[in-house]
């Protein structure tokens, strides 16, 4: 288990974040100017609303302290390349998704240690300083931002090569992410199964609420359907391997990584349901105008 935590989890995260960096350009960080309302609402939901909802869930269920902190780490973790893929399948605004993923990855360097520190202080008591130690902040910065920056740098130097590698790296990222989640579940199956009723229920509830909040908060604010779908996918599909790495590698707790592993498994059910629903809804909407009579054309 030591090798899994100290070597394989950080290596997996590096591959996933490098793959994310290969898809990003500096323009992705400035594109927020073209859709400020959608981006601000989505980021507000991710940074403020979702951790608050997760806190309420773990308090309501009475989750054990270490697992509660693990859930809070997950809630504070940004989305990833999987969110972009599901947004594409659901006919969402993928460009906005990429922008949100880029911004979230940078913002998480600050918000993730902050949320973890506050939740550790509340649930663990004597672990109040765990998220605020400078060395750990630097470590979170390194595991999140350095691989992304490297990927963007490679994209800038070798644009044709990175364009060709984008698909294979994305598939590799999805594969290693899935394998790591499965490996974590298998190696911690006794602890996971003994807490499945509580952890699984909270993870599924958080997933469903994340998609609902991510879609309806911008939609009720007048944001377009495709942009709201992009927001829902970004907020609903968390970077589970990042949450697992922060919990297990940075904070040295195997049990704290369990919520990330469970969420990384159960989130695909609501994500698939949402993607199918929105894809069909979008397909129906595109067919309707074509079937409608032209202006001035007699009906019947």
**Whole-Å CA distances, 228 to 2, 35, 219, 232, 294:** 41, 11, 6, 6, 29
pLDDT of residue 180: 67
Residue 50 confidence (pLDDT) above 60: yes
pLDDT tens string 175-230: 776 676 677 667 667 766 777 777 889 999 999 999 999 999 999 999 999 999 99
Residues near 224 by beta carbon (within 8 Å), at least 6 away in sequence: 38, 93
Q: Mean pLDDT throughout 133-159?
A: 73
| pTM, 2 dp | 0.76
Residue 79 phi/psi, 5-degree rounding, is -75, -175
49 versus 167: the higher-pLDDT residue is 49
DSSP-assigned letter for residue 294: P
Residue 59 confidence (pLDDT) above 70: yes
Residues near 38 by beta carbon (within 8 Å), at least 6 away in sequence: 93, 96, 218, 223, 224, 227, 228, 230, 231
Q: How far apart are CA 292 and CA 270, in angstroms?
A: 33
Q: Mean pLDDT throughout 62-66?
A: 90
* Domain 2-286 CATH (choose: 3.40.50.2300, 1.10.10.10, 1.20.1530.20, 2.40.50.1020): 1.20.1530.20
Between 9-18, 47-56, 192-201, 219-228, the lowest mean confidence (pLDDT) is in: 9-18
pLDDT tens string 151-181: 888 888 888 887 787 677 767 766 776 676 6
């Amino acid at each position: 288990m030591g090798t899994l935590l100290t070597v394989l989890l950080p290596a997996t995260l590096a591959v996933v974040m490098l793959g994310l960096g290969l898809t990003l350009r500096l323009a992705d960080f400035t594109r927020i100017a073209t859709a400020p309302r959608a981006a601000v609402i989505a980021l507000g939901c991710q940074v403020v609303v979702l951790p608050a909802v997760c806190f309420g869930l773990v308090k309501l269920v009475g989750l054990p302290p270490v697992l509660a902190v693990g859930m809070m780490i997950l809630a504070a973790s940004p989305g990833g390349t999987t969110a972009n893929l599901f947004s594409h399948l659901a006919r969402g605004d993928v460009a906005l998704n990429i922008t949100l993923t880029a911004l979230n990855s940078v913002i998480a360097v600050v918000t993730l240690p902050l949320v973890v520190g506050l939740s550790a202080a509340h649930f663990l008591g004597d672990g109040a300083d765990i998220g605020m130690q400078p060395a750990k902040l630097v470590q979170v910065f390194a595991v999140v931002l350095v691989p992304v920056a490297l990927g963007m740098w490679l994209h800038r130097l070798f644009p044709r090569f990175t364009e060709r590698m984008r698909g294979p790296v994305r598939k590799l990222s999805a594969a290693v992410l899935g394998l790591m989640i499965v490996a974590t579940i298998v190696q911690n199956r006794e602890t996971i199964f003994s807490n499945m009723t509580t952890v699984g229920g909270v993870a599924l509830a958080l997933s469903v609420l994340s998609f609902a909040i991510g879609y309806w908060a911008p939609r009720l604010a007048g944001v377009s359907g495709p942009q709201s779908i992009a927001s829902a996918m970004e907020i609903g599909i968390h970077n589970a391997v990042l949450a697992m790495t922060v919990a297990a590698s940075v904070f040295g707790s195997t049990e704290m990584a369990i919520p990330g592993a469970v969420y990384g498994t159960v989130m695909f059910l609501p994500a698939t349901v949402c993607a199918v629903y929105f894809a069909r809804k979008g397909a129906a909407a595109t067919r309707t105008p074509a079937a409608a009579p032209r202006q001035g054309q007699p009906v019947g």
